[in-house]
Amino acid sequence: MQKSSEQHELSQRQRNDLEAFRTHFDSVEKLTRVFAPAKWGAMIAKRESCIKSPCITLAQIDEVYHTDGLAKQIVRNQFVGVYSMCTAKDPYNTNSLEIAADLFIAKYGKQCTMYAMMMYFGNYITEYKSSFAQFDMQDILQQFGKKFLPWWNSQQEDPSQYKEQKQLESGLTGRDALVQLFASRLQNGETLNDLRNSNLFKLGFCKEEDLAEIQKIAMETF
């Protein structure tokens, strides 16, 4: 395969990362299966490993896997994953979703690795969401560069310095923020079974043993 001028400009470490990533995820099918919203929980559980692992950026995906539009498909699925976790189910605008995916790649494609993408979208609702709207594509675009990317870049320097982003910003750890989110849902009329059937619960962000604490907080703050 003839290398593009961009690939020729890669450092030796970047070339090694590209080769290691391509060898491990050796097909489009495996790539799209692993880097999908259903795997958010598994990725987040192995956060430090993801930070250290060889990876490539969204901007490299189409060329490395010889598939036009592959990166856009993957990013679009991430947006849909966030939508699926929202309580409001007004249908999203398909054209807006396509534009949002294009903008995300255009703005961050050369900075956002596949693992960074999974960490951000998987944690967006509990860690980075600042909009009152249930599903705000503009906010998703903004918070990646504003809040997530500076933290992610700092971890490349020294992953052992990790601290929960939300704790730095509001005093809540990621788990505490999630407990508060579920407690507010109980206050708004949802039941414990509704929480068990939610995508956040199914993806492992919340567990059965957390429900007693969530119910207690909901009753105390009602």
Contact 66, 53 (CB under 8 A): no
Query: How would residue 169 be classed by pLDDT, with cut points 50, 70 and 90?
Result: very low
pLDDT at 175: 64
Q: What percent of the chain has pLDDT over 90?
A: 42
End-to-end CA distance of the chain: 63
Measured CA to CA, the distance from residue 4 to residue 198 in angstroms comes to 45
Looking at residue 215, what is its pLDDT?
84
Tokens of 150: 């500076």
Looking at per-residue pLDDT, the higher value among 168 and 79 belongs to: 79
Please give the share of the chain, as a percent, with pLDDT higher than 70.
Answer: 80
Per the rule left: phi > 0, alpha: psi between -120 and 50, beta: everything else, 133 is: beta
The set of residues, in sequence order, having a beta carbon less than 8 Å from that of 147 and lying 6+ positions away, is 127, 128, 165, 169
Q: At what angle do helices 174-187 and 211-221 cross, to 10 degrees?
A: 60
The pLDDT of residue 9 is 62
- What is residue 186's predicted lDDT score, i.e. its pLDDT? 77
Average per-residue pLDDT in the chain? 81
Q: Average pLDDT of 172-201?
A: 72
Predicted local distance difference test score (pLDDT) of residue 14 = 77
What are the pLDDT digits (tens) for 192-209? 887 787 766 766 767 788
What integer is the mean pLDDT of 131-158?
A: 85
- Position 208 scores a pLDDT of 84
Q: What is the pLDDT of residues 30-83, one digit of tens each?
A: 999 999 999 999 999 988 888 888 899 999 999 999 999 999 999 999 999 999
Write 7-12 long-range contacts (CB < 8 A, 24+): 7/63
Higher pLDDT, 182 or 169: 182
Say yes or no to pLDDT of 106 above 80.
yes
